[in-house]
Amino acid sequence: MTDVVIAGIGQTEVGEHWEIGLRDLAYNALHDALKDSGGLKPQALFVGNMLAPNLSNQAHLGALIADYAGLTGIEAITLEAAGASGGAALRQAYLAIASGMVDVALVVGIEKFTDKIGSEVEEAIASTSDSDFEAVQGMTATAQAALLMKRYMYENDVPQDGFASFALTAHANGVANPNAMFRKAIKAETYAKAEMVSDPINMFDVAPNADGAAALVLTRRDLLPSDWHASHPLVKIAGSAASSDTLALHDRKDILYFDTAQISAGKAMKQAEITLDRINFFEYHDAFSIYAALSLEAVGFAIKGRGWKLAEDGEISLKGKIPCATMGGMKARGFPGGAAGVYQAVEAVTQLRGQAGANQIANAKYGLIQSLGGPASTAVSHILQALD
Amino acid sequence: MTDVVIAGIGQTEVGEHWEIGLRDLAYNALHDALKDSGGLKPQALFVGNMLAPNLSNQAHLGALIADYAGLTGIEAITLEAAGASGGAALRQAYLAIASGMVDVALVVGIEKFTDKIGSEVEEAIASTSDSDFEAVQGMTATAQAALLMKRYMYENDVPQDGFASFALTAHANGVANPNAMFRKAIKAETYAKAEMVSDPINMFDVAPNADGAAALVLTRRDLLPSDWHASHPLVKIAGSAASSDTLALHDRKDILYFDTAQISAGKAMKQAEITLDRINFFEYHDAFSIYAALSLEAVGFAIKGRGWKLAEDGEISLKGKIPCATMGGMKARGFPGGAAGVYQAVEAVTQLRGQAGANQIANAKYGLIQSLGGPASTAVSHILQALD
């Protein structure tokens, strides 16, 4: 099989887009991605979305967005796997191209949280947990993460401020990202004084729900003109994998190990024929700082119980052993639900093209991106590679 | 590429399953399909669902159902394209197998309408239309179909009872289907006396919303043991295609032509290398009798404006030129939303295996199944073929 490549990227600013709706947000990202691709003609659209049927009273986004983007007639479908919807849309587009049935595929991740107020959003997000057993008890995603973090602190003897580096790193990296929701660095004392959201999760341990859309154009390498974007490397999808786990925490053998993060990353690395030491940066799913710590451990960058220490030691910063959240991550760029996984891909392509400006990782060749749904009930991992 | 085949089928009875929930329904269909496959080990699950986030307060069905079916760890994802969700799930599973990345894939279509009352269901279904412009005006799917039917009757000079044959045929075929919701034949006078739901759509012009789950096991032909199910033909997916159109009727050039039905069926036939005359039966998307008429025309079995006449002439019955709704269709088997397209596939496989009992189409070699979302805003078409 010829290589599957990402030939176009687009994104909107992440934030509170009160002024425009779902379809406009999606259009803006798609328009930019198609322009960046040099005008490739897509045959299929894969929409990653988490909650539009609940929050915007709008299902059937595939046909809606295809039509609004001027692509009426193409194949169009919506993928949902909670917070991993964006990663899942990328994976399905990848499979479609790899099958040889589709030559050019679009991916758009889209979420519009501001169509509803905060408590309604929390309730809708809770519907992605095991609703009959968790949401029905009043359990929210943040409460679920708080249980994980509390247990992690207890088992590994970690103080609250042992998690500060996740937020500090993300906010430091968000400063130079024009699409980030938060572009201000924070200090350790700001983290230490932050109000609790759901003890022990404070304001800086949780990523902000935000509106946004990001888009990708996928194709086969042999379909691109030889002079395509000669000024920077072409980016290949070298590995792609997904895995599922229980929705409910109470069904897990070990709530402090993200099986799916391990399985999907391992499969993606196997496909890419690389080992962990070859990966130059990791866009993890830091919807909560505890998720970031557990993801570092599951993928293998830290041993169990020591993900927080890797961060505290400065190893996830741009100059560290394994830079993470290089454009601000979910914490500072913002968490646009089903678009989050597509933002990761857009940011990874930016790094691998050498276009990340002040945040550029030197000689970045391989990037790992990982999109989680719930507490890693779904994980979708991709290895992106800069071709020579 | 080696053939992609359907190596297992399963289905629950369609009806009002007040006693069990989403996950149980899905489990029952999956269990039967896996058993029928002779115990193949799936690596991926594709869930077709339309409205669970709204009606059952449960999103993230992929991981939920995979875990509940004892398949924790496998890749799992939900596909949504309104009423075409089932067809879309089948198509994504097909692409996954065709890519060579997945060896055995499960498809499950699942819908649970009885978690809410009728008016709430109607409101949820309206969210699959262009919500900001249609649902917001009080437009329901049935009202939309009524506009189509009224215009069709006016333009083509068709009396109300010109549509009776769609319901009569479906109900006649439902009698011998043990999984059908309605197993009683109806008479022309019953149709003529039926109450109006949304003029000119009467009780027999609209399919009943119902609970149900249907499942498929897909794999590559070369992965099956040579003695697999030697007693009946193996069924191949010979063609697969999808297309999208505007959600809103007011954005269409011609509301009485289902472009997507034409495009997707045409592509599927091209891939299968057959012409229309080779198709032995057509499982159309008869959520409304007007949809059935328009589908017959778009696919090419009747000229524009004469689909109703084909039915009236008896040509869609089991002995007619192009048997439709052979196991009762959506009208008599019932319309389980995102599961409907998977029921079509299960029923087509049953025909092609020669296991359709009293409803068997003689020498059935090719079947066309078509799953629609909204008024053909999405269409997904598959050609299934009995191998020698």
pLDDT at B281: 98
pLDDT at B229: 78
Contact B263 A73 (CB under 8 A): yes
Contact A79 B78 (CB under 8 A): yes
Q: Is the pLDDT of residue A227 over 90?
A: no
- Tell me how close the Cα of B238 comes to any Cα of chain A, in angstroms: 13
Residue in B closest to A377 by C-alpha: B63
Q: DSSP labels for A118-186?
A: HHHHHHHHHTTS-TTTTGGGT--HHHHHHHHHHHHHHHHT--GGGGHHHHHHHHHHHTT-TT-S-----
Q: Which fold has domain A4-117+209-223?
A: Peroxisomal Thiolase; Chain A, domain 1 (3.40.47)
Q: What is the average pLDDT across A324-341?
A: 98
Q: Is the pLDDT of residue A213 over 90?
A: yes
- Report how far residue A101's alpha carbon sits from residue B17's, in angstroms, rounded to the nearest whole number: 38
- Label residue B388 by pLDDT band (50, 70, 90): confident
Q: Is the pLDDT of residue A388 over 90?
A: no
pLDDT at A380: 98
Tell me the pLDDT tens digit for each residue of B246-267.
Answer: 999 999 999 999 999 999 999 9
Tell me the pLDDT tens digit for each residue of B73-92.
Answer: 999 999 999 999 999 999 99
Beta pairing class for B281-283 and A235-244: unpaired
pLDDT at A1: 65
Percent residues over pLDDT 90 in chain B:
97
CATH classification for the domain delimited by B138-208+236-386, as one of 3.60.70.12, 3.40.50.620, 3.40.50.300, 3.40.47.10: 3.40.47.10
Q: Is the pLDDT of residue A41 over 90?
A: yes
CA atoms within 13 A on the CB side of B325: 36
Residue in B closest to A73 by C-alpha: B244
Q: Which of A322, A320, A326 is nearest to A351 (CA)?
A: A326
Percent residues over pLDDT 90 in chain A:
97
pLDDT at B277: 98
Put simply, whether B339 touches A (Cβ < 8 Å) is no
pLDDT at B275: 97
Q: Which fold has domain A138-207+238-386?
A: Peroxisomal Thiolase; Chain A, domain 1 (3.40.47)
pLDDT at B112: 97
Q: In this predicted complex, what is the ipTM?
A: 0.98
Q: Is the pLDDT of residue A272 over 90?
A: yes
**Structural domain boundaries of chain B?**
4-117+209-223, 138-208+236-386
Percent residues over pLDDT 70 in chain B:
100
- Tell me how close the Cα of A362 comes to any Cα of chain B, in angstroms: 32
From chain A residues 184-243, the ones with a CB under 8 A of any chain B CB are 240-243
- Burial of residue A8, with CB atoms counted within 10 A of its CB: 0-12 exposed, 13-18 middle, 19 or more buried: buried
B4-117+209-223 and B138-208+236-386, same CATH topology:
yes
Q: Is the pLDDT of residue B354 over 70?
A: yes
Contact A59 B75 (CB under 8 A): no
Q: Is the pLDDT of residue B343 over 80?
A: yes
pLDDT at B177: 98
Q: Which of A67, A91, A378 sits opposite B63 (nearest CB)?
A: A378
pLDDT at B231: 84
Average pLDDT across chain B, whole number: 97
Q: Is the pLDDT of residue B97 over 70?
A: yes
Tell me the pLDDT tens digit for each residue of A114-172.
Answer: 999 989 999 999 999 999 999 999 999 999 999 999 999 999 999 999 999 999 999 99
pLDDT at A228: 83
Q: What is the average pLDDT across A294-306?
A: 98
Q: How many CB pairs under 8 A join A and B?
A: 206
Contacts of B129 in chain A (CB under 8 A): 60
pLDDT at A71: 97
Q: Is the pLDDT of residue B1 over 90?
A: no
Give chain A's end-to-end CA distance (angstroms, integer): 18
pLDDT at B227: 81
From chain B residues 10-69, the ones with a CB under 8 A of any chain A CB are 21, 44-45, 50-51, 53-54, 56-64, 66-67
pTM assigned to the model = 0.98
